[in-house]
Amino acid sequence: MRRNVADRLKKLEDRLASIEEERRRLKEEIRLLRTSEPSPAEIPAEAPILLGRSTCAQAPQTSAEKIDLFLTLFRCCESFNEYANSTAK
């Protein structure tokens, strides 16, 4: 019985340590984002949200990835995807 309590306690302490580490990483990421992003007051009202931001980690390779990028950049409706699929040969 005592062994079960000790094992459970160890698991909980390990989990808590993991959560605390994740919290630390998240706080650092938030700090970096807050210091690297312009404040809403610095962004002109007519500026698109994606201005100056990377839309994807790497250049799209597949047709589906290219369509997703197009939809992201031009804010098209999802019906374009259906159109593109119906005209693809």
For residues 30 and 53, state if they share a domain.
no
For residues 28 and 58, state if they share a domain.
no
For residues 24 and 55, state if they share a domain.
no
Round to whole Å and give the CA distance between 29 and 22.
10
Among 59, 63, 69, 60, residue whose Cα is nearest residue 89: 63
pLDDT in tens, 14-43: 999 999 999 999 999 888 888 876 666 666
Residue 73 has which token pair? 């950049």
For residues 25 and 55, state if they share a domain.
no
Q: What is the pLDDT of residue 80?
A: 61
- What pTM value is reported for the model? 0.39
For residues 19 and 49, state if they share a domain.
no
For residues 21 and 50, state if they share a domain.
no
Higher pLDDT, 83 or 70: 70
Round to whole Å and give the CA distance between 45 and 57.
27
pLDDT in tens, 48-58: 555 556 666 77
**Residue 84 structural domain:** 45-89
For residues 23 and 49, state if they share a domain.
no
Number of domains in the chain: 2
